[in-house]
Amino acid sequence: MKVLVAVKRVIDFNVKVRVKSDGSGVETQNVKMSMNPFDEIAIEEALRLKEAGKVEEIIAVSMGPQQAQETIRTALAMGADRGIHVLTDDPLEPLAVAKMLKAIAEEEKPDLVILGKQAIDDDANQTGQMLAALLGWSQGTFASKLELASGKLDVTREVDGGLETLTIQTPAVVTTDLRLNEPRYASLPNIMKAKKKTIDKKTPGDLGVDTAPRLKVLKIVEPPKRKSGEMVANVAALVDKLKNEAKVI
């Protein structure tokens, strides 16, 4: 069984994001970048399936500039077998990413595609669903537990009423939630081994995908700063402010 895992290079989750002075986007120059945390969970789940003897090969794929290779190398150091890098400096929207993943999936013919439910930079939560629709495959989103047996996947997902378990056929697309697992750290020997693993290079043109944006960002602004709290003398004053100022009661 072959698994394809999509990984994205994003601003590290520990970094405070700054908006550019002209409001055209966020500042990425000299900012620490890392793998999207949800995609780390996707890689970890693929590795656990391989360690259980249910997967033979894991392919990590990423789209973006030359630096995106660092993200692929991280996946390889964690344990992925090889990588695919779609080199482009264009800003990528979820539909373009889904189309490129579709082309790669048709070429590699994996039994399972795993990717994070969303990226922490745009929070789109669209790529996995779009990919499943384009491929015509089964999908299980927001997976908090994954069990694979006899060509079937049991995907447990959190819903408003509790937990929902779906049984789907492979080939399938699965998107990962935070509670699925705890990603491992890459060991130093594996980091050294990752330098020798293969990364195939492609372009959107090779995959027949037009990456021209369909959306236009008008302006990006920082959220308003939270106002400081206010001490009140007694309960009556609190009720008065909640009723007349906050208007929540």
Instruction: Tell me the C-alpha distance between 112 and 225, whole Å.
Output: 43
Q: How would you classify the pairing of strands 9-11 and 33-35?
A: antiparallel
Residue 237 is assigned to a structural domain of this protein: yes
Instruction: Tell me the C-alpha distance between 99 and 150, whole Å.
Output: 29
Range of the domain at 17: 2-244
Count of domains forming the chain: 1
Residue 167 is assigned to a structural domain of this protein: yes
Residue 57 is assigned to a structural domain of this protein: yes
Residue 42 is assigned to a structural domain of this protein: yes
The mean predicted confidence, pLDDT, of the chain is 92
Contact 170, 111 (CB under 8 A): yes
Residue 229 is assigned to a structural domain of this protein: yes
Residue 61 is assigned to a structural domain of this protein: yes
Residue 249 is assigned to a structural domain of this protein: no
Contact 46, 183 (CB under 8 A): no
Residue 185 is assigned to a structural domain of this protein: yes
Q: What is the CATH number of the domain that holds 141?
A: 3.40.50.620
pLDDT tens digit string along 176-212? 999 999 999 988 999 999 999 999 999 999 999 999 9
Q: What is the model's pLDDT at position 174?
A: 96
Q: What is the model's pLDDT at position 222?
A: 85
pLDDT tens digit string along 10-29? 999 998 888 888 888 888 88
The reported pTM is 0.86
Query: Which amino acid would we find at residue 82?
Result: R
Q: What is the model's pLDDT at position 161?
A: 86
pLDDT tens digit string along 34-60? 999 999 999 999 999 999 999 999 999
